[in-house]
Amino acid sequence: MTVHDPDLRPANAPPAAPDPTEAGGLLTIDLAAIAANWKMLASTTVPVECAAVVKGDGYGCGLEPVTRALARAGCRTFFVADVAEGRRVRALAPDAVIYVLNGLMPSSAQAFAADDLRPVINSTTELAEWDAFIAIKNWRGGAALHVDTGMNRLGITVDEAIAIAPRLQSENHGFTLLMSHLACAEIPDHPMNDRQIRMFREIRLLYRGVSSSLANSSGIFLGGTVYCDLVRPGVALYGVNPTPGKTNPMRPVVELKGRIIQVRAVKKGETVGYGAAFAAARPSRIAVVAVGYADGFLRSAGAAKGKPAAEVIVGGKRCPIAGRVSMDLLAVDVTDLAEGAARRGDLATLIGDGMSIDDLAAGMGTIGYEVLTNLGRRYHRVYKGE
């Protein structure tokens, strides 16, 4: 039976997608491009295995469609943030290896066994709890051991890793992966990279026979010394440039358009939006777009002291945002467009047509990760390449 009444939808179902004629924004996600990006990275790192990081709801692109596309492309190992994400991936990839990056929450070990998930052990406290669980349950699903080589965020210390290494003499030591995380991989000449690579190489020598992983998206482009046994790209799969300052080697994935709901004339000297942050220096035309920070279009996209406003594309040309982004709306200065080039019902391009995720992120004073993971649920979503 087709359910039309939203009140009759299952309690655990995701929100219904807005109708395209009703939505303020249209978000198109190219699943074929995600698969192509993964295949390109996998071919670059052969014979090393290429996994995929799908945390953050597939970096805002939708965990389920992204997982399906990557599994069809040949991906067999996935990284998620928590057990709930892991459970969703398991439902779609029954034979995949799934690592949970946030590790073992107190008293959560049984949940890992229930869905055959592997925790990333981030402390000796977690390791002790995990060992107690597998001793009682005799579970042999495996776990990753995360060694902190300089990020100072999660992971056991190098000294702790050295102390734990003798357990590898036991046949059932339980470790299926040794991993660490690069702090500055997007800056190729940063001295932190060499320091972390050398430190991890020394730890690997103590864990012979255990697969290892260090390279994230940008780490892959540091070269083969970082590959180890498994690379784990994340944001690059979704079209963000893993090599800032160079040509983006990845295919674009996301296109975002916002509906113009009004074009209004503003006299010279009049202001637009909250705080009167924009004052017209000339008689102007302002296009009001039905997208705001509630949709993930960050408030920081507006002009601020020392920072120009971000731009969007209207009528084929880049136009600056006028004033502050509000919860549901943003205003765009279209004065330089020909009369009639911006009309009610037209679509302004926020991402796409030459406006990359990285371009928009720069205009917001942030990074592509934040833009992606804030993509709103009020957009009408279209998936291509399924």
- Same domain? 278 vs 222: no
- Same domain? 107 vs 203: yes
Q: What is the mean pLDDT of residues 58-77?
A: 97
In a domain, 266, yes or no: yes
Q: What is the mean pLDDT of residues 57-83?
A: 97
Catalytic residue, candidates 55, 207, 257, 293:
55
In a domain, 21, yes or no: no
- Same domain? 118 vs 210: yes
Q: What is the pLDDT of residue 15?
A: 53
- Same domain? 221 vs 350: no
HEC readout, the chain? CCCCCHHHCCCCCCCCCCCCCCCCEEEEEEHHHHHHHHHHHHHHCCCCEECEECHHHHHCCCHHHHHHHHHHHCCCEEEECCHHHHHHHHHHCCCCEEEECCCCCCCCHHHHHHCCCEEEECCHHHHHHHHHHHHHHCCCCCEEEEECCCCCCCCECHHHHHHHHHHHHCCCCCEEEEECCCCCCCCCCCHHHHHHHHHHHHHHHHCCCCCEECCCHHHHCCCHHHCCCEECCCHHHHCCCCCCCCCCCCCCCEEEEEEEEEEEEECCCCEECHHHCEECCCCEEEEEECCCHHHCCCHHHCCECCECCCEEEECCEEEEECCCCCCCCEEEECCCCCCCCCCCCCEEEEEECCECHHHHHHHHCCCHHHHHHCCCCCCEEEEECC
Q: Are 229 and 212 in contact (CB under 8 A)?
A: yes
In a domain, 151, yes or no: yes
The yes-or-no answer on residue 274 being catalytic is yes
Cβ neighbours for 120, distance < 8 A, ≥ 6 positions apart: 99, 100, 101, 102, 103, 143, 144, 145, 146, 154, 177, 179
Domain count, the chain: 2
In a domain, 249, yes or no: no
Cβ neighbours for 28, distance < 8 A, ≥ 6 positions apart: 254, 255, 256, 352, 381, 382, 383, 384
- Same domain? 214 vs 303: no
- Same domain? 72 vs 218: yes
In a domain, 245, yes or no: no
Question: Domain end: 180, 208, 238, which one?
Answer: 238
- Same domain? 62 vs 184: yes
- Same domain? 380 vs 295: yes
Q: Which two tokens stand for residue 275?
A: 């705080």
Q: What is the mean pLDDT of residues 324-334?
A: 96
Catalytic residue, candidates 137, 227, 238, 274:
274
- Same domain? 327 vs 357: yes
In a domain, 16, yes or no: no
Residue in the block written with tokens 């925790």:
119
Range of the domain at 277: 254-384
Q: What is the pLDDT of residue 171?
A: 80
- Same domain? 213 vs 258: no
Domain CATH for 375: 2.40.37.10
Q: What is the pLDDT of residue 16?
A: 57
In a domain, 15, yes or no: no
Question: Domain end: 238, 271, 290, which one?
Answer: 238
Pairwise pLDDT comparison (356 vs 306), residue with the higher score: 356
- Same domain? 268 vs 226: no
Domain CATH for 119: 3.20.20.10
pTM confidence score: 0.92
- Quote the mean pLDDT of the chain: 92
- Same domain? 272 vs 339: yes
Summarised one tens digit per residue, pLDDT across range 135-194 is 998 888 899 999 999 999 999 999 999 999 999 988 889 999 999 999 999 999 999 999
The yes-or-no answer on residue 55 being catalytic is yes
In a domain, 37, yes or no: no
Q: What is the mean pLDDT of residues 224-240?
A: 96
